[in-house]
Amino acid sequence: MDFRTRPARILFGAHRGFRAMAPENTLPAFELAASAGADFIELDVACTRDRRLVILHDDSLARTTNAGTAFRDGRLAACERSFAEVRSLDAGSWFLEKDPFGTLASGRLDAREASGYRGLQVPALEEALELAKRLGIGVNVEIKDHAKLAHDATIVEDTLGAVRDAGMEDSVLVSSFSPSYLVRATKAAPGIPRALLVENKRPWDPVESCRQACAQWYHPSEELILGCHIVCLQRAGIFVTAWTVNDPALALQLSLMGVTGFITDDPESIARPFPNRPPAA
Ligand code: G3P
Ligand code: MG
């Protein structure tokens, strides 16, 4: 899918992949998202000590890998570990132990199938992009704010370089909570569209916030959405994607308000009220 043009229909993006059914930010989560009919996957980019880009949501490796037991020195941040060290971790077993969305307990996810998640690796960015290209699915690449971490000065440019090297410029949307990262992304790769992420505090004037950040997309958390904002954003030609929307009824309501798309943990369930997906506003 091409984020540079108005989508022909409401979009569904899989938050960290189809993370209700597979460990977040792993290749199986991305594959399942494509099988479930998501238009794009959303993934989070972090940087290792030796400046390799990996797919990881938290600064720390503790929640989604076995780093806590593997690394006894307590240095659990991805930026404190080499790529080889990060790749040596198990990024899948935690999902079987925690069952974060209750899909194992409910039987929706087959336990035998899920046992295959043990030993999954943290993906490299280029690996995830390659997979998305093969699956023919769009990618929302969220660059995590490294302001207080190593490689803050290079993570944006390195990410855009990886997108270019993968030949994925026409299928990627870069997003960040950091407006200055988006300005840097514009300089590094003006042709790749950008989304401004917001949470906690609703901007007074989201159109102006997007303009300052050089963003063509506005990605608010669902509770920040205001109907009048959507109207202003639409008039300014800015597309709106709400996250993280897991309630099909809310998705329907937001689509009627003019939201262009959703980022969801469960792209299968969210699609239910949209049997013939209406065109995006
Ligand atoms: O892109 C939407 C969402 O991923 C932003 O928040 O914390 O889940 O990365 P987070
Ligand atoms: Mg994210």
Ligand 2 ion: nearby residues, β-carbon < 5 Å: 44, 142
State the distance from the centre of ligand 2 to the C-alpha of 134, rounded, in angstroms.
22
Q: Going by C-beta distance under 8 Å and a sequence separation of 6 or more, which residues neighbour residue 36?
A: 14, 18, 267, 268, 271
State the distance from the centre of ligand 1 to the C-alpha of 244, rounded, in angstroms.
8
What is the reported pLDDT for 277?
A: 75
What is the reported pLDDT for 273?
A: 86
Over the range 28-63, which residues count as b (16 or more CB within 10 Å of their CB) and which as e? bbbbbbbebebbbbbbbbbbbbeebbbbbbbbbbbe
275: left (phi over 0), alpha (psi -120 to 50) or beta: alpha
What is the reported pLDDT for 281?
A: 64
Instruction: Determine whether the shortest distance from the Cβ of 265 to ligand 1 is under 6 A.
Output: no
- pLDDT per residue of the chain (281 residues) written in tens, 0 to 9: 899 999 989 999 999 999 999 999 999 999 999 999 999 999 999 999 999 999 999 999 999 999 999 999 999 999 999 999 999 999 999 999 999 999 999 999 999 999 999 999 999 999 999 999 999 999 999 999 999 899 999 999 999 999 999 999 999 999 999 999 999 999 999 999 999 999 989 999 999 999 999 999 999 999 999 888 999 999 999 999 999 999 999 999 999 999 999 999 999 999 888 887 767 76
Instruction: Determine whether the shortest distance from the Cβ of 197 to ligand 1 is under 6 A.
Output: yes
Note the pTM of the prediction, 2 decimals: 0.97
According to the CATH classification, is domain 11-59+123-270 in 3.20.20.190?
Answer: yes
Atom of ligand 1 nearest to the CA of 243: 2
State the distance from the centre of ligand 1 to the C-alpha of 144, rounded, in angstroms.
9
